[in-house]
Amino acid sequence: MDARPPDRTTADAGRRRRADAERNIAAILDATVQCAPSDGTLNMSAIARLAGVSRVTLYAHFPTREALLGAALQRAFRQTDEVLSGLPLDDAPPAEVLPELIRTSWQVLERHRNLYMAASADLPPATLRAYADLVLGRVEKLLSRGQSAGVFRTDMPLDWLVSTVYTLMHLAAEQVATAHTPPDVAGDLASATIMSLLTSGTPAAPGA
């Protein structure tokens, strides 16, 4: 067996290929977000042109439209999770930090609204929810902490409240996209609506 180390030129070429592939993937995912239309129809040729790659390269990385949508959506939720990781979700009073979470994350959802609409047309609801679980897990943990502290209502299932928060944030994004609500107002409206729903019938708990 030949135990000689790989040729340095070959190793460098391999690294360049990996770097090129990573750049192409990033460009394709960026183009997917930009090209995603509101009617849910995704044009693979347009994405390849905007990304500056051939259709062959596009399909080499993402063999199907579903694979591309899944990767783009997964990255969108990962970006949302990275934004939320900077918030004191585990330590700050739940009723104080939740409005900040809403104002922060709905804007990321708004930027990716068309992508989500396209994914909704091609991917089953269970798959969409699985991608969202990265973010919804943080929301669930925060709401659970608020229920335990007595600041959020406990007369409704936790999972229902989590889904309601998620739905209302998407509604805020839709209102902005359809020009029914200004972007600088939608976040505050979503936050006020969600907080009103979560605290309805719940006595105030100072310092919770």
Q: Does 77 fall in a domain?
A: yes
Phi, psi of 88 (to 5 degrees): -80, 60
Domain count, the chain: 1
Each residue's pLDDT tens digit, 107-158: 677 777 788 878 877 888 888 888 888 888 889 999 999 999 999 999 999 9
> Residue 169's closest CA among 102, 93, 98?
102
Q: Does 1 fall in a domain?
A: no
Position 12 scores a pLDDT of 63
Q: How far is CA 39 from CA 51, 56, 113, 117, 177, in A?
A: 21, 26, 11, 7, 12
What CATH code is carried by the domain that includes residue 23?
Answer: 1.10.357.10
Q: Does 181 fall in a domain?
A: yes
Separation CA 118–CA 190 (nearest Å): 23
Each residue's pLDDT tens digit, 41-90: 788 999 999 999 999 999 999 999 889 999 998 898 888 888 888 889 88
Structural domain containing residue 27: 8-199
